[in-house]
Chains A and B, each alone.
Chain A
């Protein structure tokens, strides 16, 4: 996928769409932004990358009027502009698409779009005007959204387009997208980038905040790198490469490729036979069979929502299933909820969504380290009382070994960055030394330094002779970590391929196309 270079389109004489000069912002003792300078030329896609906590979101919040900068000035189209609140940001032509959409789920697309921008107390005129504008916008930018669809019925990718339309309807000239592809399938992401390319060609300016280097390389014209609250550099995308960007982000050389030897598989640890899961009356997992041996990583590739979550949940004892799961030669219970007995059988589970399943966000880190293992004898003082001190000590040790920052066991899980939250979960599960590790989306929303670390831990577990089932929507991750790749589509396994198989072939399998058809 290439959007072409746009260097010819940049009018050098035109003022910058956005120029930030000397922006600083601190929260108490934490300096989130330090003397940030950035200039975004009109009609370009400008990437901002940095690890979690590098200050990207703070900077954009300042630009959108959520925070007031302690120092510095903001220039929009060459004129100094104060942005005390988001209303002023909208008036200045800035539109923001948040990572978590701000849509009313049971409103139609049209109702969502006029929400807050109604012409008067009666909605009819607004709706009529919006319908016309929406049709024009949709056509112009290939956005393709049904104005009368109810938002909750739309796919995530479409909901994101509604957010973009909302911004455009408010006359946004500058569009900021915060980690827009985190929730998208590869196809949806490609479509999004085509839309963004179209917007740029129409003279709009796009700021793309992400931590995915590939997206930066494929879509942006320029890229600014942030690290620990400072801007470490802005470069033309065409003149850089992923390795250089990664090094700028992290401040040291980063291994983008996973370093591992060939697998040395042993006995069979897990065997799954004709496993089926039905949720809400729909069969989501339609008879899956495979096995995993000790000392190998089996990767499940597939577009999100093709039964991978159900597979993990059935294996982890969260969802009821039919069929057979045989672990170390013994059949596991499939009815009822079996999270506890699965752990006793030697299965550890790093769930796909750490914030919904893996952690209690309001609990302190030390309480989360005991989560799922709170009945473990080593965390008990006696028959009645838990040994909170032992749990805290264990947390401290885990935090040191896994480099969790900040290393404060009493801090609530919600106050850690995504990468550090994930490290807490991974530390908890891997350090049980399980026979089988189920790990879903191990690096979703995790910064690059932590990705490298987590990948190393997974490989180390494999090398220690354990079995690993890896589920990820990141094809790169599947290919670089797995020893064997199974491709899932529509609740079934379409086939097994070696990890070196080229992306196109795997992509076809992921779309449900086999050689025969």
Chain B
């Protein structure tokens, strides 16, 4: 009956979720005979202890920011686009076309080209489910999920049969022209005199993603389209009363959603791998859903949540390589356990905030009663 104060809803609930997730992670690590404390410290030092660690954390965060923003726009229209994975996969195809078949004179042109094509391909991949939802009422969750599989199959075919250079066994495109490599953080920070590690692939797309987060905020709360999307998402019937067409808004919201998810490929493919490989998205589309949920579909929250997930991703990678600080032995934490750890965090922060909200509401009501 009494609602939570806003700060508690936005800050306290995610933090408590995170804490619960860490408790379960700790139990899991202890159960395979490792020390949770050592594991946590090696995650933190691995992800945040060095410039290289930070660089990777920011690189992954950029991926999640873009897919998270994509998911959130559809969410605001009450459309659950879980096809970010497929849309980003197709976005990768767009990047590959931009970087392989056009003789750009400068990396900035190549960036504009790959941004355009990846957004276009991501949006197109969302178009068919969007159209089916808007016109036929086919549920967007089902269709976008199916389109993830189709995207994977399509890219496999394209890589193996069309894009793979002659004479290689690897289902991947040729390396992109080195001139199209995006400026890394080292280059950008270096230009203003701050030294930064050259190793990590974090690049200019971080700033593009941050700019996009701001643009998303402007779109949703300061433009007519954003107003219409939010109104439609809250009360579809009322939107019709106001003259907001459901078909149009469904299409726009999902095209924007798919397009932004597609941009993730610019960071991963052009910025990171410099070629298109199978599974270039590596689950970022799904993590984007958790990021959007945890960030409460607010661009600012999404930026913070993507940093957290970037940390988890990079920290998890480091955990696989970590050694015990006392004995110097390698920690025996299998790759699978690390995936379970990441899944636990997603589960608790993304899917279970309501579990925390209710008791917290009661607690607040009691505190209020006592005061």
Contacts and interface: CB of A to CB of B under 8 A. Distances in A.
Contact of A356 (B1, B221, B238): B238
B234 A363 contact: yes
Interface residues of A, number: 35
Interface in B237-281: 237-238, 240-245
Contact of B218 (A359, A363, A371, A385): A385
A356 B243 contact: no
B235 interface: yes
B241 A386 contact: no
A372 B241 contact: yes
A60 B243 CA distance: 40
B135 interface: no
Interface residues of B, number: 22
Contacts of A27: 2
A415 to B, nearest CB: 10
A354 to B, nearest CB: 9
B245 A385 contact: no
Nearest to A316: B241
Given A360-B234, A374-B227, A385-B223, A66 B241 contact: no
B235 A356 contact: yes
Given A360-B231, A385-B223, A28 B241 contact: no
Contacts of B106: none
Grouping DSSP codes into helix (H, G, I), strand (E, B) and loop, the B interface class, with mixed when no group exceeds half, is: helix
B222 A362 contact: no
A339 B223 contact: no
A45 to B, nearest CB: 29
Interface in A12-60: 27-28
B368 interface: yes
Find the residue from A351, A380, A386 having the highest chain B CB count within 10 A: A386
Given A28-B368, A385-B223, A318 B241 contact: yes
A349 interface: yes
Nearest to B247: A337
Contact of A351 (B1, B221, B223, B241): B241
Nearest to A343: B243
A33 to B, nearest CB: 15
A358 interface: yes
A360 B241 contact: no
Interface string A342-360: 1100000101000011111
A87 interface: no
Contacts of B2: 27
Find the residue from B231, B242, B245 having the highest chain A CB count within 10 A: B242
B89 to A, nearest CB: 31
Nearest to B369: A68
A374 B222 CA distance: 11
Contacts of A340: 242-243
B258 to A, nearest CB: 22
Interface in A69-99: none
Contacts of A388: 221-222
Contact of B243 (A67, A372, A380, A384): A372
Given A66-B1, A360-B234, A361-B235, A339 B227 contact: no
**Nearest 8 CB-CB pairings of A with B:** A339-B243, A340-B243, A372-B242, A357-B241, A360-B234, A374-B227, A385-B222, A357-B238
Interface of B: 1-2, 218, 221-224, 227-228, 230-231, 234-235, 237-238, 240-245, 368
5 contacts: A66-B1, A337-B243, A351-B241, A359-B238, A360-B234
